[in-house]
Structure 1
Amino acid sequence: MKLTNAISVAVFGFAGGVFRGLLSTAFDANGVLVANLLGCFLLAFLTYYVIERDLLAGWLNAGLGTGLIGAFTTFSSFSMTTIKLTQHSPLLGGAYLLVSMVGGLAMAGLGMTLARRLGRVVDRHA
């Protein structure tokens, strides 16, 4: 990995972790859910609009995708929240798991679809 990529991932990763922490503090388990769903959308949009169209430098793509969004969304927070909710109520834990999985796929699909449509509109006007 290039040094510029590593620095970019570290700096943006710090910011992503802080943003997730703020959401978790403000909204408890719902903050993790919001972060993960929003992250699914943002990573798909970044991939299919920004990276696919080569709009930013590689170090910035690495920082935004791996650093910011990677730290903003986290499987460990999702897993711990699911376990905590399941211990409180198996139904609530199962619902959280289902909403996270289906919602994450839906948000990624929405991000990809929006990015591709926006790309076609921009291309027509260029």
Structure 2
Amino acid sequence: MYYVLLIFFGILGALARYSIELTLPTTPFPLATLFINLLGCFLLAFVVRFLIWLPRLSSKMVTAIGTGFVGSFTTFSTFALESSLLSRTDFLIATSYMIASLIGGLLACVLGYRLSKMLLIRFKEVLRHDH
């Protein structure tokens, strides 16, 4: 069953990535890949921190979401290829893309982790008041 979930979430992640790529404008700066990868960093940190604490979700389900959805949603290989190609034509854009990806990815992870922590605190408070 785990592999079925992994495939299912992988398909959803790939479709979400493709949909976002279609909606964002094509520019010399790889905005779509940057946006997708930053969102993926946020989502993975959020998933790892928040979803694992939900009582009805198993750790395998959380792993399937993280690996399947986020893994197929984001892409390091596209980042590397775009960085390599950009560095041949416009070193400044390539450098800003790489820095934005690295620093933005780390900040997105911190934000996802902190937001999940805040929601967990609220979730636990609601559970305490309901009992």
Q: TM-score, normalised by structure 1?
A: 0.88
1:32 is the counterpart of 2:33: yes
1:22 is the counterpart of 2:19: yes
1:60-99 superposed matches below 5 A: 60-99=61-100
Q: Cα distance, 1:64 vs. partner?
A: 1.1
Q: Cα distance, 1:18 vs. partner?
A: 1.9
Q: Is the 8 A contact 1:37 1:103 kept in 2?
A: yes
Give the Cα separation in 2 of the matches to 1:119 and 1:16. Answer: 25
Q: Cα distance, 1:33 vs. partner?
A: 0.7
Q: Is the 8 A contact 1:23 1:32 kept in 2?
A: no
Where does the alignment leave 5 or more consecutive residues of structure 1 unmatched? none
Give the Cα separation in 1 of the matches to 2:78 and 2:55. Answer: 32
Give the Cα separation in 1 of the matches to 2:123 and 2:35. Answer: 29
Q: Is the 8 A contact 1:17 1:71 kept in 2?
A: yes
Where does the alignment leave 5 or more consecutive residues of structure 2 unmatched? none
Letter in 2 for 1:85: L
1:45 is the counterpart of 2:46: yes
**104-113 or 43-52: bigger deviation:** 43-52
Q: Cα distance, 1:61 vs. partner?
A: 1.5
Structure number with larger C-alpha Rg: 2
Which string of whole-angstrom CA distances, capped at 9 and with x for unpartnered residues, describes residues 2-58 of structure 1? xx1111111211221122122233334211111100000011011111114454133
Which position in structure 1 is the counterpart of 2:105? 104
Letter in 1 for 2:6: V
Aligned residue for 1:56, secondary structure, equals coil
Root-mean-square deviation over aligned CA pairs: 1.6
Which of 8, 13, 26 is the matching residue for 1:11?
A: 8
Q: Is the 8 A contact 1:13 1:67 kept in 2?
A: yes
Aligned pairs, number: 123
**45-54 or 69-78: bigger deviation:** 45-54
Runs of 4+ in 1 over 3 A off after TM superposition: 52-55
